[in-house]
Structure 1
Amino acid sequence: MTQPTPPVPDRLGPLLARLRQARGRSQQRLAAELCAASGVPTLSRHEVSRWERQRRVPGGFWLGWLAVVLAVPVELLAEAAGRSRPTHRATTPTHRATPTHQATPTRRATPTRPAPPRAAGTTAPPRAAGGTSAPAPAGGTTARGPRRRGGRLSHGVPRAADAAPPTATR
């Protein structure tokens, strides 16, 4: 006579759903109780749903609080979580040996813009140590050109829009 096979232990998702439903709690209520017990206000019913659907596996922190709130031994949840985590199989290839098509890049490299021309005899301002930028030169220009202050160029030449309207003379 053959021995009956022991039942396959649950993975964490179905186990959590069964424990929650046996206690008459919704995912929202379980999330609220976990937040209150742990002091972490950011757990939502969506995360509980992800755990139950095996989209994510809670870490040790949440496993401990789940055990407290659901009144079950933490070892039960930890063993189920171990069965739920994906295993990496190095012996089975996950891709085809010969590709059926060539991959095309989704982004093209953008060409770099050349630096703007500098006036003869000028050099770039030295950079300060530590990667911070150096203070602006006294002339009011930067590597990108003249600096604007209050709608005017820093060297005092007003913009065309800032020019005073012509006065009528008789």
Structure 2
Amino acid sequence: MNIPKIILASKSPRRQELLRLMDLDFEVVLKEVDESYPDGLTPQEVAVYIARKKAEAFDQTINDEVVLTADTIVCIDGLILGKPETPAHAIEMLQMLSGKVHLVVTGVCLLHNGKYNTFFDVSEVFFRQLSLEEITSYVTEYSPLDKAGSYGIQERIGLIGIVRINGSYTNVVGLPTEKLYAQLINLK
């Protein structure tokens, strides 16, 4: 495999761990980016739009590396749920997801040699009905404020609440590794 060094523009420890597990050489470099998006976009378009916006912040500062950016959103009944702003907001989001099916969409952008390669993945996640006590305990004991939809699939609420997933598990974690790998090995 001849994959160039990756600049990961993400502070997500979950994305970093996935890249380590893939045995990829990467360095974390962060830049502040406004993550707003225009009205009227589908969830898939929103995730890709924000991922590309993050990559554009690096356009003039890289050489032979690959800049990898991503954005994960949760969508239920047409409503996009980003990261919660407060613990109360996290509880509200988890109550919305409880007993229902939602989508997790991750948009990815690879910037290499001046070219932007964007793609996305979508997973369906089925939650069982969660009690308010289970939700409140999770929000109190974990850190849901840095997670789209207020939960981590690899944390307690995911382990006790998710009944089934249609699609990629790693996409729900925050990076569709299968699709990412296919794109990386085909970079020109």
Shorter-chain TM-score tier: under 0.3
TM-score (norm 2): 0.23
Higher strand share: 2
Q: Which has the higher contact order (CA 8 A, sep 6+)?
A: 2
**Greater CA radius of gyration, 1 or 2?**
1
